[in-house]
Amino acid sequence: MTEQEPIVAWHWLLDGKMRDGTPVHVGETYSVDGPIQMCQRGLHASERITDALRYAPGTTLCRVRLHGDVIRDTDKIVASRRTVIAMTDGTQLCVAFARYCADTAATAAAHAAHYAANAAAHAATAHYAAHAAAHAAHYAANAAVVSVVRARSRQEQWLYSRALALIGLANA
């Protein structure tokens, strides 16, 4: 655990609130006292939006700055402080991303397309949008014909560019 330069990352919320029900506001800094621990204690986020989506409890999308004590893992970060840079409703983005992934999978392989289409079908309801988008991304990336690395890279680029535009940030 080290104190380091702030890290700009992505974080998803359920109905604009933290898991304990605390309302989240743009410009506010949230903090935890005491030692942080991955998946146990602290304020989490991911540098890659597709990684953050895997942990999404809901469809409120935040661009955040992590600072203070920081611990990195392969797909997530935990910090003692998290400042909200921007926040928006990401429901339609999740639905569009699920459809994008489903379309990619359908083009690449029929088997992967079957699972992605099921996930995309569930994405029509906001309650399941983030979950379905993550499943569609998983199946699209594992399509037999398309390289997993290339598929994930395209997914990240697709979601990242649209998320920045939606959240109103040119390059953050």
Q: What number of other Cβ atoms are within 10 A of residue 104's Cβ?
A: 24
User: CATH assignment of 2-89, given 3.60.15.10, 3.20.170.10, 3.40.50.300, 3.40.50.620?
Assistant: 3.20.170.10
Measuring CA to CA, which residue among 96, 66, 83, 79 is closest to residue 30? 83
25 CB burial (10 A radius; 0-12, 13-18, 19+): exposed
pTM given for the model: 0.74
pLDDT, one tens digit for every residue, the chain (172 residues): 555 789 999 999 999 999 999 999 999 999 999 899 999 999 999 999 999 999 999 999 999 999 999 999 999 999 999 999 999 999 999 999 998 888 877 776 665 555 556 656 665 555 566 666 666 666 666 554 455 667 778 888 989 999 999 888 755 5
Cα radius of gyration rounded to whole Å, the chain = 16
* CA distance linking residue 51 with residue 41, whole number of Å: 19
Measuring CA to CA, which residue among 46, 55, 82 is closest to residue 66? 82
* CA distance linking residue 31 with residue 21, whole number of Å: 15
148 CB burial (10 A radius; 0-12, 13-18, 19+): exposed
Residue at 154: amino acid letter: R
Distances (CA, A) of 124 to 61, 127, 136, 172: 18, 9, 13, 29
Parse the chain into domains and list their residue ranges. Answer: 2-89, 92-167
